[in-house]
Structure 1
Amino acid sequence: MNTPAIAAIQPCLWFDDQAREAMEYYVSVFPDSRIDEVIEYPDESLDEHFRGMSGNVLNGRFTLRGVNFVCLDGGPIFTFNEAVSFVVTCADQAEIDRYWAALSHVPGSEQCGWCKDRFGVSWQIIPATMGALLARPAQIQAMMAMTKIVIAELENA
């Protein structure tokens, strides 16, 4: 088996019990992505700490567009919030629209290109030219009023 290279620093996502579902979903959303490895919790009869976790993801490794991630099912102790988000740089409006449609599931959390997926993970879906599109104060004001970024509106602001 050819083992992929592992980045020296990689994000780890803590799910309640949806790590496998999240990995499968994310690799379906992002091209050139894959699940690299899934290690399941052992049989719960081996240790009381594993009670109810047998078959869940103890350690999952997956790659999204060349970025290595780790994930696990750890129960409801911790949840995601907007303090950490992942930036998806897009080539054009069609790519923004595609990622937005796939990842945005919490309308109340949408602003300035930020959205939250069905697992609670925050994403920033932005054009690769974002810096140039925010060169004038009017463009910044226009962006602040947006949920999903619309390139044409920023260009015309």
Structure 2
Amino acid sequence: MQKITPFLWFDNNAEEAMNFYVSVFKDASISNVHKMGDKVLTASFTINGQEFMVLNGGPLFKFNESVSFFVNCANQAEVDYLWEKLTADGGQESQCGWLKDKFGLSWQIVPQMLGSTLWGPDKEGSQRAMQAMMQMGKLDVARLQAAYNG
């Protein structure tokens, strides 16, 4: 049992959101579903070993960018896949690898190599990579590396 679990408040579409996230991520499964009558009240699911819980809480609270999920992607193919899936059907692209999915939840879709370009030993290269990143929506591994390399 994990000590801290993200708990996501949805406006009566928690089951749809949970099913969507489980369909997007390859290592994902639904753990528990608790209904009140025929409607899901709370449920839990796991993505890559991380448990999440959802609640159908109604329209009282909305997601905003002050909380986001950072996804450490192995390569450009994974960035592209997640970006496409999470922005589909009403999701919104932002900048610097940030997006909102169709439920309004914020995600950071980030290639693993970003750290080595932004915080690498070549300080001028890091500045160039930062400038390149600031111009991007979806992050582009080749462009980031090229900017770092000069």
Give your verdict on TM over 0.5: yes
Rg (Cα) greater in structure: 1
2:140 corresponds to 1:150: yes
Q: What are the equivalent positions in structure 2 for 1:8-27 lying under 5 Å apart?
A: 8-27=3-22
Identical residues among aligned pairs (%): 49
Taking the aligned partners of 1:128 and 1:60, their CA distance within structure 2 comes to 31
Alignment TM-score, normalising by the size of structure 2: 0.89
1:94 equivalent to 2:77? Answer yes
Q: Runs of 4 or more off by more than 4 Å in structure 1?
A: none
Normalising by structure 1, we get a TM-score of: 0.85
Are 1:66 and 2:66 an aligned pair?
no
Q: Which has the higher strand share?
A: 2
* Residues 69, 107 of structure 2: 8 Å contact kept: yes
Cα RMSD (Å): 0.9
3-state SS, counterpart of residue 71 of structure 1: strand
1:33 aligned partner: 28
Q: Is the 8 Å Cα contact of residues 92 and 99 (structure 2) preserved in structure 1?
A: yes
Q: Which residue of 2 aligns with 1:106?
A: 92
How many residues end up aligned between the 2 structures? 138
